[in-house]
Amino acid sequence: MGIFSENIVNQRFRQVFEALEKNNLIKGKSDIAKQLGTYNHVVNSILKGDRNITIEQLHKLFETYRIDANYVFGFAEVMFNRGSAADAAIPVRSFDERQFGGRLNITLVPNRAMAGYALEHQEEGFLSELPKFSIPNLDGNLIAFEINGDSMYPTITNGDIVVCEPLERGDPLRDNNVYVVVTDVVVAKRIQQLRNGSQLRLISDNGAVYKPYEVDLEDIRQVLRVKCRLTTYAIS
């Protein structure tokens, strides 16, 4: 196996592939590659542990085959969402939904949906189309964002997912903590509240490359407090 073979997400994808193939729900690598919007050799590389599956490919996997995101991220042992064709066809170990709050309470915003989130995050229809999952002991209606880029390195790295709690306007903020700030774009930054009371300074941890900048409060559509991040191998 390659260097990515220990990644829990890649391991679970391999198990999903084997289950789909065993139960004649796919006809090999070329079939699932088409559904994931990629190529046969890419799927082969993921299965061999030579590359990571992408968030975009995971989103299509969840949508097309009704795979439970909790299973893929390693938080549950149920592979398929209830009511899917495979749910009855493939025996899986049951789990107690109460450990996940009884519902999928975290909405995942993949990188491809960031622009749409900035414009439409208040629209229920937009959020309902995005994949959902849960993490034990993380309650409430939370939003998770796929991080693209290295502006917050080494605190948050490219490909990490940050799980956030949306704040109401006027909720207290803590200087130098990490938040997701939504204007016409979505960014994860440390913040400082300026004395003029009308702006926030957004600060990157990779300060040698990315300089701080200010945004007007009136241009901020939403602020979310980062509660944890999902790295390649763990939650932190």
pLDDT number for residue 178: 96
Do residue 152 and residue 199 come from a single domain?
yes
Residues 53 and 124 reside in one and the same domain: no
* Whether 153 and 79 share a structural domain: no
Count: domains in the chain: 2
Q: Provide the mean pLDDT of the chain.
A: 84
Q: Are residues 111 and 193 in the same domain?
A: yes
> Is 129 inside any structural domain?
yes
Confirm whether 201 is domain-assigned: yes
Say if residue 113 is in the same domain as residue 225. Answer: yes
Model pTM score: 0.67
Residue 236 lies in a domain: no
Distance CA 221, CA 182 (A): 5
Q: Which of 43, 73, 95 is the last residue of a domain?
A: 95
Q: What is the pLDDT of residues 150-201, one digit of tens each?
A: 999 999 988 889 999 999 988 999 999 999 999 999 999 999 999 888 899 9
**One domain, residues 111 and 88:** no
Q: Which domain holds residue 115?
A: 106-230
Q: Determine phi and psi for 29, rounding to 5 degrees.
A: -65, -40
38 domain residue, yes or no? yes
Residue 102 has pLDDT above 60, yes or no: no
Say whether both 35 and 151 belong to one domain: no
Q: Which of 62, 95, 128 is the last residue of a domain?
A: 95
* Confidence label for 135 from pLDDT (cuts 50, 70 and 90): confident
pLDDT-based confidence at residue 103 (cuts at 50, 70, 90)? low
Q: Are residues 160 and 65 in the same domain?
A: no
Strands 161-166 and 199-203: unpaired
Residue 2 placed within a domain: no
| Residue 13 is assigned to a structural domain of this protein | yes
Q: What is the mean pLDDT of residues 31-42?
A: 93
pLDDT of residue 99: 39
Residue 86 forms part of a structural domain: yes
Same domain, 88 and 181: no
16, 84: one domain: yes
What mean pLDDT is predicted for residues 216-230?
Answer: 94
The CATH number linked to 201 is: 2.10.109.10
- Report whether pLDDT(139) > 50: yes
Query: Where among 95, 124, 146 does a domain terminate?
Result: 95
**Do 27 and 59 sit in the same domain of this protein?**
yes
In a domain, 150, yes or no: yes
**CATH (domain of 33):** 1.10.260.40
The answer on 21 and 70 residing in a single domain is yes
